[in-house]
Structure formats: structure tokens, C-alpha cells
Amino acid sequence: MDLRQALVGTPINDLDHSWLFVNYQNVLDLLRTATISGRTAAADTVSVWIQRCLQINDPGAAVQVVSLESLTEIYYFICDNWNDATPALSNALRDLFKKLLSLKTRLYPENSAESWVRYIAAFPSSNKALYYVIEPLAKFLPNPYSWGLEQGFYNRAFALMSTLEHANPVGKALASLLHFHKGTDRNQWVREWSQYVYRSLKSPSRTNVLIYFLPLILRGQPLEVFDAFYGGIPDPSLEDATGCLKVAHELDLDISRYMDSSMTECLHHASRSLRVEVLSLLTISKQTSRPVPRSTYEAIKQNSDALLCEADPKFRNQVYGLLRQFVFRVRGSTYGIVRDFKGEGEPTEVTEAKEFFGWLPSYMSELLQPGTPYRGLVTAFQYLELLAVSGLDKRVDSKHFEASPVPFAFSVDIFDRDLVRDLINNIPNDYQDIRRAAAKLIEMAPTPVPFLENNEQVDKIAAFAEPLIAGVRGRQGDGGARVAQLVYRSYDDLGSQNYLNKLLESTEQKVSMAVNDLKSAVEDHGVHGYFQSLALIAETERYKQTASKETITRMLECAAQIWVATRDVLTNGAPEGNIPMPSDAGFEEGLSSKYGALGQVILSYSWRAVRESANLLMVLMPVLEVEQLKPLGELLIEQLTSIRHRGAFMSITGPLQACCSRCYAVPTLQSLPLEWLETHLQEILIHTKLITRRSAGLPLLVTSILVSHPKPLEPAVDRVMDRLFEIANIPIPISTEESKLDLPQVHAFNCIKATLWESLLTKPTARHVERALVLAIMAFTSPVWAIRNCGVMLFSTLHNRLFGVRVASMSARVFFTRFKSIRRLLYDHLNVYVASASSADLETVYPILSLLLRLESVGNYDGLVDFEAPIYKLLSSAIWKIREMAAWVFAAIIQPNNTVKSALELIDACTVQNQNLLHGHAMALNSLKVDTTNQEILTKLRQRAGELYFNNKSPETRVEVFKLLEKFGMKPKFVWAEASPYLSPSENVLKGLIAAREMKDGVDDDVVAQFLASDVDDVHFSVLDELRHVSAKLYAPLLGLLGRTKNPFVKVACLDAISKKDEGNFGDLSYLLDEKEAQSVREKALESLGKFAATAADAERDQWLNAVCDFAQDDSPSAARLSALVSCQSFLSKKPEMDENFKDSLFYQIYMLLSDDEEMLRDRAGQVASEIVGASTAWEPRYCEARLVELISPGFRAKQRKGLAPIGEQVSAALETDETLFVVEKANLYRDETRLVKQLGSGEKCAIPDRLAQLDLDSPLGWSTNAEISLLMARLGYAR
């Protein structure tokens, strides 16, 4: 038994004290002889020994054995090993040090351990051991100011906290050193440490100081300490103030005095993080019973748009989390207030809470209006569900409430008639999660539900649902199905049964029509919505309690028959959208004119029908009879192995897995799934041409059956993989016509690839990765293209599995230990290619180099050394890409202690007689991590520079040699080549590199002008990229280059340089706005013209404004809209005088860009608008809208509110229906047009046109769901 086991395993009462002390020297020897890998075990053993010594409580005996010198030795071991300690060693040393201090205090209480302090104080401030030791040591030794720490220690320590590695230990150590001591003047103490924090707030250490130091130093201190610290912050920014207040808030200090208007205004600040921090200060309290001030409610209401309707989902979720806690805080605080209230009437705090919670549902109801963007709908449903489950509305069934120790002290009616109508209207919404959320909320609504109070009202909703269920679009069917589920739940028992029968009869009719006359079925009614309706109804508890075998059988028959109707379409090998139909099928062009492209409509009908029928089968799977499983599984497998449409066969996997799971659970059917699989694997040996080159659904068949197999999976996976590898390795017959070959190997490759990539099969397939790698690499040498293609796809899958999609590295030792045969395979293939350079072996080089590039040679592992020789030879390959990859690999596998030697050998071997070798060696040297100040290498390069660079006639290799010389700080001169009819592109690149170097070194304007006069674009790019200032002397050369060059990229770079000049002539650049110019040139020209237009004539200003309006349109590219905004910002920076019409048009364009579809554009528009309205900081775009619109004249606003088209045309456009399969998406999905119309001013109400007056805009699922009509009513002054 080793020493540690004896110490741990012996009970303290049975421990021989003399044995313990006798072994003290053995314990010390463990530390003295500990290897790097043995330090953790040694420290742990010493720690256990000290613990035992403390437990026996015999100081007299211990002092005789444990000398102060030996304790100091242990202390030195701790200090010397803690800096680079692994997490395990660090924990062991921390535990050891705490026990060491306890033992020293017991045995030598009079010793002050000044030598210990001096030892650790001499450590450099960057050493983490210094801080690990200081933290516990400072608690034992008072007056840390006398420790003798090096001058400037605190400043350096706080600066060191900028790195996450040091932040935690340094913060704890500093807090221990600077903690408050009794008897110390508190104000002086605050001044002592706050000076360092103040400096840190303006440095990169800011965030970590606020997290790891400030909470520790303030913990347990009275509010006066924070007041003294906070009041002394010099010129605090909003971020500094909120960061410090957040620390105090988390320590439960009362910061209400600081939450003034300047702080609540941060709720509409452009910075999302700042908004979240301030909101948390206002809403969150550790004492949930603490009353909420009225100002908090008002701040949330006034900034609701900026907080609740942000497009960023991360921000919305953060706000939701805070407001969720806020709701529970209000619930708890008002409950306590009412419980303790002794007066008459209602406490003021409760009244204020009721007002707020009366406003919140109404605000959310406004967000449910037609035309509201997705983010608004998500917000509304999120908060309405929160309010419903919180118990705010006591009419809601308590089964929906979240568990809570206290109820709300009041009740607010959430589900009024308007809200229920809006919820029903959103059930057929375009977004699936909105449809589900609407249905879920209606299920929570207290009964009787408006519009669903009796069967007659439900009948009306059912009538509205019918055209949706039969719609050709996928979301129409899903929306109609959600309504059908609502209808089924809302009927009484008899009504629901009748409705289900009616729906099932309709489904049978549609399916029968499809079987007999697919044209009529496609043209008149879709069927996928009916299958969705049946599936959603089958999910309800009501159906599960009343389901009959007869209805289930009918549903199964419908699913089988729709496959009969659509089989020919979905198994056709033609590409999507180009499906040939038999001439006698009777398909007419009228179908195309109604719904869109004929092939797309037919294909959409077919695959959606099969997908939704499969989903119905999955829902029914748990209630099927055992005898129904086998025919159903065979149907699903037939679909999966014959369908060519990816969306259709992907939808089969879920039902098939469910079917296999049920089969595995039935003793008589346990072997059936694997039998199905073996049968189909056998069939591909015969019928290989019936499946696409990616094998369609066959790989999914394999993974579905294996995933659903009961554990352990390994035996089944091994059996299937062995069979697949057997098929994949079948020799391919030699044939001159590859297209006539039967290739079952292709399908085996694809099945292996899918199985290895399936996340649920990662563990059981791990043992097959090695031979899959071998298979993939060997496939690269196949003479058959299809096999090589499969090898590429399999290798890519394995590469991603091993190294991740983002491509990480792996230790070479780990890789070759895990896959033992791979190393020899890679090495042999490399040597075969190097020896023969045969094209037959060429393809294997790429995957081998790709693998080697991901392997790291860690520590003293020399397993990659053997690869250096073949990789070295590949540096002179005749193929550029191989040379490039070989250079990367060579640099990666060279041992760190061998880099200088390798670099010298590479330089010595270079020769201009072998340009391929020179190119490869130069790239390897450029990739090699080597000391660029090494004198041997510098000397060698100076000796060879003349030959390899100046006397080298190849521009391609000169470029690499130039980069190499630059890397080592050498600046070779360059003689410009005389004009020639053809100049090598690489020569141009070299000229560009020379120009870039000259610009970085600094040249006068005459040299820059000479560069600009060059005919080489690479020179232009280099010069323009480095040009930081445009003097008057350079303006003319820039204009000359702009007019001379035909390269649009050069023009853009030139315009970018010109934009740095504050003044210029508008006419110098305005011609570039012409449509004949490249779009990028026009955009950059508009940006540059902003400043020039500010001082231009009125006609030129109008030309500029027209261009801005044109570029800022929603259907313009985002880059064009950004150019318009940048130009406006440049124009306004000059503070020009503007007449009212010009100002209105300009401000309106910026106002519309505040609701642009691009987030970056909106944020920048918010900055511009904030400057216009005179805000001291940048505001959130939605908050800017209401402020900016006030600066636009009422007349201009009224014109924009009513719309530019006549009302009659707007009515016709709103009432027009579009039945095409694919709807053209709006250019701007972010903008809430109805909200903007309201913001532009209510104006006078206009007469409602007769065509609108006749519509029922109150009933759900009618015209009230039409966003265009809702917008038109708002334009007429009748917005809800």
C-alpha cells in the first residue's frame, strides 16, 4: 500500500502517531523528487499528511518533527509550481496551501512568516502563483501594505486583469490585500483602492474588474462606502455608471437614488447591452417583496418599443427573462402589501400595478394586428402566455398556471373579445411557431370563448377554415389544420365527432379524386391540409379517448392511396420543376396560369401530400394494432427507397423510426426491421440504377432502422456496417462505358457516410471510422468517377467528424494511436506518388495532405518525423496546389527545435534552375514559424538574394521570394520593367507589393502621383489602400485615374480616397451616378458626393437628393441603401441651409431607413437621426422615429400617410387575391407599415369606400386578417 492510500485508508483513531511522524521525511521526499506529471499526486499526499497531523492535535510531538524550515520548503514548492499548473494540480496546491497555513499557525504562532512574504513578493507581477498565494496568505497576515511589493504592483496587477486567464486569481488576491481592516479610516480606505478602479474603468480591464474585484471589495460594506466610491468616479460614462450600479444592485444595496431620468433614458439607448443592464437595475430585486416604484412602470411603458420589439432575438430573450422575473416580483410584492394592509380601499402600489398590467395586454394585443412583423408577433405571444400562466387572469383554468407560493393580489382580464379575435386570426399565420402559439393561447382562454360559445359560432369558424385546408400552399394547409383542431376542440362531443367524420369523408374524396384524376385534384383542391388536420386532431386528448379502429383504418387507407396517386410523380428521375406528364393525363396550361409553373405545382401537391400523410401515420403509430405494423412498415420503406424528392423522403424517416421502435417492442416482430434492411441491401446489388447517385432515401433507411434499435446498438451496427463494407469493396469490372456499369458500391458508400454522420450512432460507429478512412482514401484512386466522388464525400464526412465543421486540430499522437493502420497507409501512398508522380496516385495526395495539416506534433512525439522526407519532395511538385499544401504541412510538422536547421536547408536547396522547387521552398519558408532575427538565416538570405530575386526571371517565384525577404525585414529594390505588349499578372502583383511597402515607409505626394499614373491596377490598389490623407496636390491625379481606368474596383478605391477630402466640385463626380457605370461605382460616388452637395448649387442639390431617394428604395440592394444613408450623413455634417421641401424629403428618407430591413442600416440611421434631433447619445431606431417625424411638416406627413396612389387603386390592390404557389416576398419584412401610418399623424377620417364598407371586418378569419386592408383602413383614419 502506498503512503497516500495508507493515510487515507486508516481511520484517525487507529492511526499510529509515531508512524505518521516517521513518514514525514518520506512525504517531503515526494515533493523533492516529483516529476512534472507526478506533482499533483505528491501535493495531494502532503496535503493528506498535514490533514492527519492537524486531526491528531498533538502540537508538541509535531514540533519535534516538523521544522519551520521544512514547512518553508513545502511553501517554496507551492509557489514555484503554481504558475503553470494544470487545473488538477492547481486545486491540489490550493488545498495544500490552506492546510499548510493552518499547520504553521498551530505549530509556530509567534512566527510572522516575513520570509514567506518576501519570497512571494519578489515574484514578477505577471506570475499567477503570486496571486494564488496572496489570497489566502493575506487573511493570515495583517497589514499587507508593509509586504514590500514591488513599486507599481497594484497598477500592473489591475492592468493584468484585462486577460481572462488572470482576472479571477488577480481579483481575489487584490481584494484580499485591500480589504478593510478594523480601525482603518474608511474614507481613506476607499480612496486607496478606488483610484485603481477608476483607472481600470478607462482601460481594457474594465469588465473583469467589475466582475472579479469590485463585488469582493464591496461585499459586506455599508451603502456609504459605495456612495463614496461612486461619487468619485471621474467623468463617468453611461457604461461605467451602469456597470458599477449593477455591482451594488447585486450586493442588494439600495441604489434607487441613482436611478434618475438620465439613467432611465438609457432604456432607449442604441447599445443593447446598456438597455439590458439598466432594465435589470429597474426591475430585479433580491427582495421580491420590495414594492415597485411608479417610475419603473412608466419607464417600461415609455420605452416599450425599444425594449419589446427589437429584432435581435438574443436581446428579446434577455428582456423577456428580466420582465418575467419582474412579473413574479410584482406578484409577490403586491400580495405582501395587500396581506399587511390595514387601511381602507386599495393600496397605491396595487393600483399602480393593476394599471400597468392593464396596459401590457392591450399593448400586446396591438402587436397582433394584421401586418405586424414577425418580431412583434413573437413578442406578443411570448408575453401573453407569460401573463396567462402567471395567474394574472383568475378566469383562466388553474391547470395552466405555473406553480407559485403566492397568487396575484388582483385579477386582470386578458382574454377579451378583441384579443380572442386576434388570436384566431393568427392561427393561419405564415409562420409556424406563431400558428402554434396562437392555438396554445386559445386553449388557455377562459370559457365561454368569444366566437366559440356554441356550435353555431363554431360552424362559422369551420366554414372559414375549409378554403385554408384545401389551399395549395404549405402554410395555408397548416393554418387551416390548426383551425380545424380548434374547431374540433370547441364543438360539443357530438359536434366534434360529426366534424371528424366530415373531415375524414372529405379527405377520402380528395384522395379518390387524386387516384382517378390527378389533374382535377391538383387544380381544385390540395390534400395535404386534410392530412394535417387529421394529424392535429389525432393528437388531442379528446380524440385519444374516443378513437375507434374504424376511423384509424380509414386514415391508414387514405395514406396508402395518396401514395398510389403520387408515386409516378415522386419517383420520376427528372429534376424538380421539369416533370414530364403523359399526354393522356389531360393537364392543361390553365393550371400554370392560376398557380404558377405546372411542374412545380404538381410536384408540390405530391410531396406535401406524402409528407403530411406520413406525419399522420407517425401520430397514429402508438395506437395501431400489431397486425397493422408490418404492412405499414413495408409501405414506408417502399416510399423511402423509391422517392427522388428529398423533402418527401426525409419526411418518411420519423414514421419509419416509430414503426421500427414498435416492432422491436413486439417479440414476434423484433427481427423484422433488420430483415427489411438486409433485403434492400441485397436488392441494390441487382437494381442499382433505380436509385440516384446520392442513393436517395436508402441511407436514411439504414440510419432509421439502426437508431430505433434497442440498446446495445453495437451488435446491430457492426452487422450492418460489415455488410456495407463488404458491398463497398466489391471489385469494379473494367468497362469503357462507365454509364452502363452497375455500381452498388455507390450506395454502400453513401450508407456508410450517413451512418457515420448520424449523431445518435456516434459511439457505436466509432470502431468503424478507421476502415472508413482507408476506404475513402483508396476510393480516390478508382478509375470510375462515381466511386471517386463517393470517396470525396465520405472523406469530407469523416474529416468533419474528426476535426469539426469549423476544422480544429488534433494531436498526432492521439490520432495515430486511435487509428493505428492509417499512419502506414498515409506514408506508403505519399512515397508511391513521390517515387512515380503517376496521375493514378495523384488524387490520394490531397486527402493525405489535408489530414496531415490537421495533426499537431505535441511534446516529444516524433511520429510525424517520417513524413518530412516525402513532404519535402512534394515541395518541388509540378502541381501548384500540391506545392502549396505541402508547404503548409511541412511548416506544421517540423519540430520546434529543428526549424532553424530546416530553414537553412530549404534556402540552400533553392535554385532558379528549378522554379517549382524554388516556389515550393519559398512558400514553406513563408509558412514556417521561425525567429525572423536569426542571424544564420539572415546571412544566408543576403547571400542568396541576388540569385533568387534580382537575377530571377520568373515573376511567380519572385513574388514568393519578395514575401520571404520582407518577412525577415529585408527590403529588396525593384526595377520597373519597360513597357511590353504583355505584362505577367504575377509581375503586376509584385509591383503592387513594392508600392504597398513604399507607402508604408512613407513617400511624398510626387511619388504617390507617379504611382497613380501607373497602368498597373495592383499598384493602384496598394497606393489607395494606404492613402490616409488627400492633399490638394493629389486631387487632380485621383480625378485623372478615376476618368482613365476601366476597372470598377479601382474606381471604388479612388472614390473612397477622394471622400477623405472635405471640399470638392460636385460636377467632378456626378457623372458617375449614370446607370452605365457599375453599381458599386455609383454607390461609392453617391457617398462621396454628400459633402460636395452641401455647398453645391440648388440644381445639383436636387440631383443629389433624387439620387438619394432612388438609392434608398426598399427594393434597392442593401449596399445602395447604405450609400444613400452615408451620403445623407456626410451632407448633414456640413450643417447646410435647407428649404422646407428639401428638408422634408431628406428627413423622410432617413425616417424610412430607421425601419430598414437591415439591422446595420437601422442602427446607423439611428445615429444620424439622433444627431438631427440633438440627442447627446445615439438612440434606438424605433425611439428615433417618433422624434424625427416631428421635424417633418404636417402637410408632407399627411401626403405620405394617405399614400401616393389614388384610394380606388389602393382598394383594388388590397382586395386582389394571389393564388400562385410561391408568393413574392416583400422587400422589407421588418417595417410595420400600419404603425408608421399612425406615427405620421391621424389626420381627418376619410369616407370608407363602398367596397370596404361591405366587408365584415369584425369576424375572425375573414377580411380582418388581411394586412393590406388593415393598412388601408389606417390610411383612412380608422386604425384600431
CB 1219 within 8 A of CB 595: yes
- Give 434's contacts (C-beta < 8 A, 6+ positions apart): 374, 377, 378, 381, 426
**The pLDDT of residue 737 is above 70:** no
Are β-strands 855-856 and 810-811 bridged in parallel, bridged antiparallel, or unpaired?
parallel
pLDDT in tens, 838-879: 666 677 888 888 888 888 776 667 778 888 889 999 999 888
pLDDT in tens, 577-614: 445 454 444 455 555 555 656 667 788 888 889 999 99
Separation of alpha carbons 89 and 85, rounded Å = 5
- pLDDT value at position 505? 94
Cα torsion 458, 459, 464, 470: sign: positive
CB 559 within 8 A of CB 531: yes
Confidence band for 5, pLDDT divided at 50, 70 and 90:
confident
Q: Report the range out of 111-120, 568-577, 582-591, 948-957 with the highest average pLDDT.
A: 948-957
Q: Which of 664, 637, 663, 662 is nearest to 652 (CA)?
A: 637
Separation of alpha carbons 167 and 169, rounded Å = 6
Q: Which of 184, 120, 107, 182 is nearest to 147 (CA)?
A: 120
CB 464 within 8 A of CB 421: no
Q: Looking at per-residue confidence, does 692 or 1090 come out higher?
A: 1090
**How much is the average pLDDT of 695-723?**
89
CB 533 within 8 A of CB 541: no
- pLDDT value at position 577? 46
Residue 810 backbone phi and psi in degrees, to 5: -140, 145
CB 31 within 8 A of CB 77: yes
Residue with cell 511567380: 956
Separation of alpha carbons 164 and 204, rounded Å = 11
**How much is the average pLDDT of 987-1013?**
73
Residue with cell 425594449: 307
Confidence band for 977, pLDDT divided at 50, 70 and 90:
very low
Q: Which amino acid is at 783?
A: P
Q: Report the range out of 756-770, 942-956, 1022-1036, 1209-1223 with the highest average pLDDT.
A: 756-770
Q: Looking at per-residue confidence, does 1093 or 54 come out higher?
A: 1093
Quote the radius of gyration of the chain (alpha carbons, Å).
Answer: 38
- pLDDT value at position 583? 41
> What CA–CA distances, in Å, run from 327 to 292, 429, 467, 1072, 1185?
11, 28, 41, 57, 29
Q: Which amino acid is at 532?
A: Q
Separation of alpha carbons 1064 and 1058, rounded Å = 9
pLDDT in tens, 802-818: 887 665 677 788 788 87
- Write out the three cell numbers for 620: 397514429
Q: Which of 768, 853, 859, 867 is nearest to 823 (CA)?
A: 867
pLDDT in tens, 318-356: 999 999 999 999 999 999 999 888 878 889 999 999 999
Q: Which of 108, 123, 34 is nearest to 68 (CA)?
A: 108
- Write out the three cell numbers for 515: 387516384
- pLDDT value at position 692? 53
Separation of alpha carbons 696 and 612, rounded Å = 19
Give the range among 501-505, 697-701, 749-753 with minimum mean pLDDT. Answer: 697-701
Separation of alpha carbons 6 and 516, rounded Å = 86
- pLDDT value at position 598? 66
Confidence band for 1093, pLDDT divided at 50, 70 and 90:
very high
pLDDT in tens, 760-796: 998 899 889 889 988 998 888 888 888 888 998 998 8
- pLDDT value at position 224? 92
- pLDDT value at position 1123? 95
Angle, CA 276 vertex, CA 274 and CA 281 arms, to 5° = 95
Angle, CA 287 vertex, CA 285 and CA 293 arms, to 5° = 60
Separation of alpha carbons 822 and 865, rounded Å = 15
Angle, CA 306 vertex, CA 304 and CA 309 arms, to 5° = 80
Residue with cell 428604395: 1113
Residue 822 backbone phi and psi in degrees, to 5: -70, -40
Q: Looking at per-residue confidence, does 113 or 1141 come out higher?
A: 1141
The per-residue pLDDT of the chain, averaged, comes to: 85
Give the range among 268-277, 926-935, 1016-1025 with minimum mean pLDDT. Answer: 1016-1025
Q: Which amino acid is at 788?
A: R
- pLDDT value at position 966? 85
Alpha carbons within 13 angstroms on the beta-carbon side of residue 144 total 25
pLDDT in tens, 1051-1085: 988 988 888 887 788 888 999 999 899 999 999 99
- Write out the three cell numbers for 421: 379575435
**The pLDDT of residue 474 is above 60:** yes
Q: Looking at per-residue confidence, does 444 or 1205 come out higher?
A: 444
Give the range among 11-15, 248-252, 382-386, 1004-1008 with minimum mean pLDDT. Answer: 11-15
CB 865 within 8 A of CB 895: yes
**The pLDDT of residue 102 is above 80:** yes
- Write out the three cell numbers for 427: 392561427
> What CA–CA distances, in Å, run from 698 to 5, 683, 900?
57, 11, 54
**How much is the average pLDDT of 829-842?**
76
- pLDDT value at position 410? 93
pLDDT in tens, 1195-1250: 888 888 776 667 777 777 666 766 666 667 788 888 888 888 888 876 566 767 76
Separation of alpha carbons 943 and 970, rounded Å = 12
Confidence band for 688, pLDDT divided at 50, 70 and 90:
low
Separation of alpha carbons 132 and 171, rounded Å = 10
- Write out the three cell numbers for 1066: 460636385
Residue 855 C-alpha from the chain's centroid: 27
Separation of alpha carbons 1218 and 547, rounded Å = 38
Q: Which amino acid is at 483?
A: V
- pLDDT value at position 464? 87
Separation of alpha carbons 720 and 726, rounded Å = 10
Q: E-strand spans in 666-764? A: none
**How much is the average pLDDT of 1140-1151?**
94
Confidence band for 1148, pLDDT divided at 50, 70 and 90:
very high
DSSP string, 517-535: -HHHHHHH--SHHHHHHHH
DSSP string, 887-949: HHHHHHHS-GGGHHHHHHHHHHH--TT-HHHHHHHHHHHHHS---TT-HHHHHHHHHHHIIII
Cα torsion 733, 738, 741, 743: sign: positive
- pLDDT value at position 664? 92
- Give 534's contacts (C-beta < 8 A, 6+ positions apart): 503, 504, 507, 555, 616
Residue 1250 C-alpha from the chain's centroid: 50
